[in-house]
Amino acid sequence: MRETDACGSTSTILVVIRGNSGAGKSSIARAVRLAYGRGCALVEQDHLRRIILREHDGPGGLAPDFIDATVRYLLDHGYHVVLEGILHAAKYGPTVRALIAAHRGVSSAYYLDIPFDETVRRHSTRPQVTEFTADQMRGWYRAGDVLGVDGEHVIGPTSTFGDSVALIAARSGLASASPRPDAEPAVTAPPPQRSEAGDERGS
């Protein structure tokens, strides 16, 4: 991580969406990006770590630095960025806090504070329900795992999908930002299917 290297510009926007497995991060992050249009990149922790690197989330992994480099590259090339994932504070906190501190533009962080039983209920509606168990989810679960950065916003279980998307888009500045000149028109994101209520496994 290059903690002292500034990245992005005064016109770029960085949005960080975190929470436990089954909290709904991926669905919300994708909808926020979709509502903005072209010119906003979506960086998913699960895709970089599990699909591209195919590494376990243990000590010494490349994922934190890979995420850092990816987000910085996109911001430096004029993209707004939505970063989403479990991003446990103990391991990923230094990386995410450094990104926020180094970003020249507007940064905002959101934590989906969803009770464990509700994450399990949501997971039970997903196609990948057989891939891991509630006991495994309990091992990954971290209650109140906030970053502790200025302006971090906690979104509770009473916030609907649409409300959460609208809140993040408005507070982050994406709702009022101008798309890139080559952008496709923004679209209104449909509500997620029940099978997409959550996001990724945590190991």
pLDDT at residue 2, rounded to an integer: 53
CA dihedral for 159, 137, 45, 4, sign (positive or negative)? positive
* Residue among 128, 145, 148, 149 at smallest CA distance from 50: 128
Which parts of the chain fold into alpha helices (H)?
25-36, 45-46, 63-76, 89-102, 116-123, 134-140, 161-172
pLDDT at residue 12, rounded to an integer: 98
The SS3 of residue 65 is: helix
pLDDT at residue 90, rounded to an integer: 95
Indicate whether 199 belongs to any domain.
no
Separation of alpha carbons 81 and 53, rounded Å: 20
The count of domains in the chain is 1
Indicate whether 188 belongs to any domain.
no
* CB of 162 closer than 8 Å to CB of 191: yes
Alpha-carbon dihedral angle through residues 114, 116, 121, 125, given to the nearest 10 degrees: 70
pLDDT at residue 134, rounded to an integer: 80
Separation of alpha carbons 140 and 21, rounded Å: 8
pLDDT at residue 196, rounded to an integer: 36
Indicate whether 148 belongs to any domain.
yes
pLDDT at residue 77, rounded to an integer: 97
Domain containing residue 51:
13-175
Indicate whether 127 belongs to any domain.
yes
Tally Cβ neighbours within 10 Å of residue 202. Answer: 19
* Residue among 87, 70, 77, 79 at smallest CA distance from 25: 87
Indicate whether 100 belongs to any domain.
yes
* CB of 4 closer than 8 Å to CB of 102: yes
Indicate whether 191 belongs to any domain.
no
CATH number at residue 114: 3.40.50.300
DSSP 103: B
* Residue among 10, 14, 9, 20 at smallest CA distance from 152: 14
pLDDT at residue 178, rounded to an integer: 80
Indicate whether 125 belongs to any domain.
yes
pLDDT tens, per residue, the chain with 203 residues: 455 699 999 999 999 999 999 899 999 999 999 999 899 999 999 999 999 999 988 888 999 999 999 999 999 999 999 999 999 999 999 999 999 999 999 999 999 999 999 998 987 877 777 677 888 888 889 999 999 999 999 999 999 999 999 999 999 999 999 876 665 444 444 555 443 333 344 43
